[in-house]
């Protein structure tokens, strides 16, 4: 198995090198000619929605270890298919933090990177949205968190109501639905614990009910995303849609900081979202489903076989950044030592190397499907 994984990684690495002008002879152009990349989703695909205000001033703007060469997976795929580098379709910030002044929302014509940090599938209030404040203190940052359904609608409006059929469309979401539903579970348990006459039995019952509701909500969100892809993307003319499912959020520094029971709940929430997404999409023509959940689990189980040196500790020193997020992390705010092959930049977001591994996996699936 080790040899198989190494060979697969080496093969895709060669493809990436070829796309950058090296690593092989002959015609290395994609088998499909794409005219643009259109990306929908959350922070894992966000190319700079919040690259404004103090965030930009400190060298941040993307959810990773920021720097001149730091790219997320969508940027890497765009380079490989030969389209323009993705740019954020919308920028702005509704911050109420004095040290991070608010910036007016601006829509950028011709930019098709719709993914936004904090975005959920349907609900417009995601993590760090000002409308969640003060119940969620992170809401003070004022992320826009435009949900995926709105992102798709904005794109259709911008391009006249339909896709041309020559774009590569990418969709990856669900993580913020996990965080939001987990927040509800935690709040429910806290309220049950503080209630007069609370007992271990009553608290456990409240936790069980809240957990069940959270899993159900994740299944609903997965089904909704599948429906949006079928009715608002494929049915509107898109012919090449890469749908990357939700990684196992329990296998992140955030997940590892939780109790064993909560880790199990997070994993069930993630897998339930994915199962409903997969069932909803079925064998929809023009859709390529990419299983980041299973791939991520394999990377955690066999880190050295993917060149990873750490899969549990954030590379960013979140005690020195202006926010406890890789959104404002750079080479100046890293922990000591060589973190170039760490999996995580903060408690949930990949390092540039982590994004490289994801891009390689997506590229391999695209190649197998004849899309690259």
- Specify whether the backbone of 369 is left (phi greater than 0), alpha (psi in -120 to 50) or beta: alpha
**What local confidence, expressed as pLDDT, does residue 347 receive?**
98
Residue 338 lies in a domain: yes
**What local confidence, expressed as pLDDT, does residue 340 receive?**
98
When pLDDT is averaged across residues 128-132 and rounded to a whole number, the result is 97
* pLDDT range class, residue 232, cuts 50, 70, 90: very high
**Residue with more model confidence, 139 or 21:** 139
Range of the domain at 313: 33-175+222-368
pLDDT, tens digit, 9 for 90 and up, residues 74-85: 999 999 999 999
- Is the predicted pLDDT of residue 169 greater than 80, yes or no? yes
When pLDDT is averaged across residues 341-363 and rounded to a whole number, the result is 98
Residue 158 lies in a domain: yes
**What local confidence, expressed as pLDDT, does residue 31 receive?**
82
Residue 95 lies in a domain: yes
When pLDDT is averaged across residues 22-29 and rounded to a whole number, the result is 41
Tally of structural domains, the chain = 1
Closest by CA to 322, choosing from 58, 87, 127, is 58
When pLDDT is averaged across residues 350-366 and rounded to a whole number, the result is 98
Residue 16 lies in a domain: no
Cβ-based burial of 302 (10 A; exposed 0-12, middle 13-18, buried ≥19): middle
Q: Is 304 helix (H, G, I), strand (E, B) or coil?
A: helix
Percent of the chain with pLDDT over 90: 92
**Residue with more model confidence, 20 or 168:** 168
Residue 336 lies in a domain: yes
Residue 26 lies in a domain: no
Helices (H), ranges, the chain: 2-19, 53-57, 73-81, 148-158, 175-194, 200-228, 253-256, 260-281, 292-301, 352-368
**What local confidence, expressed as pLDDT, does residue 348 receive?**
98
Cis omega before residue 95 (within 30°)? no
Spatial separation of the C-alpha atoms in residues 146 and 124, rounded to whole Å? 6
- Is the predicted pLDDT of residue 99 greater than 50, yes or no? yes
**What local confidence, expressed as pLDDT, does residue 190 receive?**
97
Query: Within its chain, how far is the Cα of 181 from the centroid?
Result: 17
Instruction: Report the mean per-residue pLDDT for the chain.
Output: 93
When pLDDT is averaged across residues 138-147 and rounded to a whole number, the result is 98
- Is the predicted pLDDT of residue 268 greater than 80, yes or no? yes
Greatest CA separation for the chain: 75
Residue 342 lies in a domain: yes
**What local confidence, expressed as pLDDT, does residue 83 receive?**
97
When pLDDT is averaged across residues 290-303 and rounded to a whole number, the result is 98
**What local confidence, expressed as pLDDT, does residue 21 receive?**
35
CATH code of residue 231: 3.40.50.1110
Residue 69 lies in a domain: yes
- Is the predicted pLDDT of residue 8 greater than 50, yes or no? no
């Amino acid at each position: 198995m080790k040899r198989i994984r190494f060979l697969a990684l080496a093969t895709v690495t060669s493809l990436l090198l070829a796309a950058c002008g090296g690593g092989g002879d002959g015609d290395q152009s994609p088998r499909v000619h794409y005219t643009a990349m259109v990306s929908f989703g959350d922070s894992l695909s966000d190319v700079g929605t919040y690259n404004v205000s103090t965030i930009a001033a400190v060298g941040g703007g993307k959810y990773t270890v920021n720097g001149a060469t730091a790219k997320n997976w969508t940027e890497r795929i765009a380079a490989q298919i030969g389209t323009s580098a993705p740019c954020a379709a919308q920028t702005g910030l509704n911050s109420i933090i004095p040290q991070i002044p608010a910036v007016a929302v601006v829509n950028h014509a011709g930019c098709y990177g719709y993914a936004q940090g904090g975005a959920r599938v349907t609900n417009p209030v995601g993590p760090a949205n000002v409308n969640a404040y003060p119940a969620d203190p992170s809401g003070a940052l004022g992320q826009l968190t435009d949900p995926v359904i709105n992102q798709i609608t904005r794109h259709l409006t911008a391009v006249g109501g339909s896709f041309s059929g020559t774009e590569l469309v990418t969709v990856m979401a669900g993580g913020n639905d996990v965080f939001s539903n987990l927040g509800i579970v935690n709040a429910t348990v806290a309220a049950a614990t503080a209630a007069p006459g609370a007992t271990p039995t009553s608290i456990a019952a409240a936790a069980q009910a809240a957990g069940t509701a959270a899993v159900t909500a994740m299944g609903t969100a997965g089904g909704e995303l599948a429906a949006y892809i079928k009715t608002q993307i494929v049915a509107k003319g898109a012919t090449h849609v890469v749908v990357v499912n939700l990684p196992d959020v329990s296998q992140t520094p955030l997940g590892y900081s939780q109790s064993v029971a909560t880790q199990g709940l997070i994993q069930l929430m993630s897998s339930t979202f994915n199962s409903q997404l997969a069932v909803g999409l079925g064998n929809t023509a023009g859709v390529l489903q990419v299983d980041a959940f299973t791939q991520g689990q394999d990377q955690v189980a066999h880190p050295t076989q993917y060149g990873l040196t750490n899969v549990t500790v954030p590379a960013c020193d979140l005690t020195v950044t202006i926010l406890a997020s890789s959104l404002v992390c750079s080479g100046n705010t890293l922990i000591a030592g060589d973190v170039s092959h760490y999996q995580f930049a903060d408690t949930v977001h990949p390092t540039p190397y982590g994004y490289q591994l994801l891009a390689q996996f997506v590229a391999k699936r695209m190649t197998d499907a004849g899309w690259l």
